[in-house]
Amino acid sequence: LDSAIMSVTDPLGPAIAASAEMWTKKENSISHFMGNYSEKINIGGGHSALPSVKTPGEASPLDEPEFVKKMSDFERKVFHSIVDGQKGESERLLQEFVVTLSDENLHDGMRLFLEVMTPAIRHLGNLFAARVKFIPHLIAAADSMKAAVAVLEPYLLRARAASGQTRGTVIFATVKGDIHDIGKNICILMLKNFGFDVVDLGRNVDPELIIQTAIEKKAQVVALSALMTTTMMQMKVVVDAVKDRKLPFKVVIGGAVVTPEFAREIEADGFSTDVGTVVSEMERVIAVLDAVV
């Protein structure tokens, strides 16, 4: 929209323009809208989606977490650049950081990823659950995280190559009908840096493509991700096909809506709650597979 016929005195006009910019992913548009307009607009039929003003001394979800206060100034900048969806800033900070890496301190890259970047995404998830951050924030943070990871990943993979580890092949995919991949991408990076060979099939992947790729790559594990309840049953399609054909690999599932009960119900071989457990669960499943062999 280049122009509109509207009243320049209508306070909603600038807010509408600012909200539209969020969806075009214009740099800093998220923070601009939320900082200037979110408290002036009621969302959902007159019920504000923002918390009421807190009383003195009362904790707020927007307060900086205690563990962040213990970080260095640089780490705090990285953390907040991701949470605030400042893609350009997170990319700049990581470019500044990787210049300091050498063969002797490559592990510092993994520490930054595990102790600063990943907690930033987890913290944003908590803010979303508390209804003080919203879908546009998640989109912006995902872009910021991807930009930061893109800068850091070559150095993490160098650290892995130096270790000479190869711990098994994993086929990873977001199931058919589901286009969410933030968690999947983080899990893949974790697995790669703990010595696994990972084939990323992307999002909205057909079950047969997943199975055929696992056969061709002689994979030990197929890892499936879903964020929506409407796509969860695609996991069962894959699990059933693997069992019906008596294929030799295991199926591990995970995602925001996936539960241990659902994993047991569809007879998946493993379940991971989040990026914090994906490595240990993959190790457990492969150990069981090796024991059978």
Determine the pLDDT at residue 44: 41
DSSP designation for 71: S
pLDDT at 160 over 90: no
158, amino acid identity: R
pTM of the model: 0.63
Q: Does domain 166-292 have CATH number 3.90.226.10?
A: no
What count of other Cβ atoms lies within 10 Å of the Cβ of residue 64?
A: 13
3-state secondary structure of 270: strand
Which of 46-55, 86-95, 177-186 has the lowest average pLDDT?
46-55
Q: CB–CB of 181/203 below 8 Å? A: yes
Task: State yes or no: pLDDT of 51 exceeds 60.
Answer: no
Name the 3-class secondary structure at 288: helix
pLDDT band at 58 (very low <50, low <70, confident <90, very high): low
Asked whether residue 1 carries a pLDDT value surpassing 90, the answer given is: no
DSSP H or E segment with residue 126: helix 118-129
Within the chain, which residue ranges are assigned CATH 1.10.1240.10?
Answer: 19-45+55-161
Question: How far apart, in whole angstroms, are the C-alpha atoms of residue 196 and residue 130?
Answer: 35
**Average pLDDT rounded to a whole number, residues 36-56:** 49
Q: What residues does CATH 3.40.50.280 cover in the chain?
A: 166-292
pLDDT: is 70 or 45 the higher one? 70
Is the confidence at residue 53, as pLDDT, over 60?
A: no
Pairwise pLDDT comparison (158 vs 18), residue with the higher score: 158
Mean pLDDT of the 59-85 span:
90
What kind of fold does domain 19-45+55-161 have according to CATH? 1.10.1240
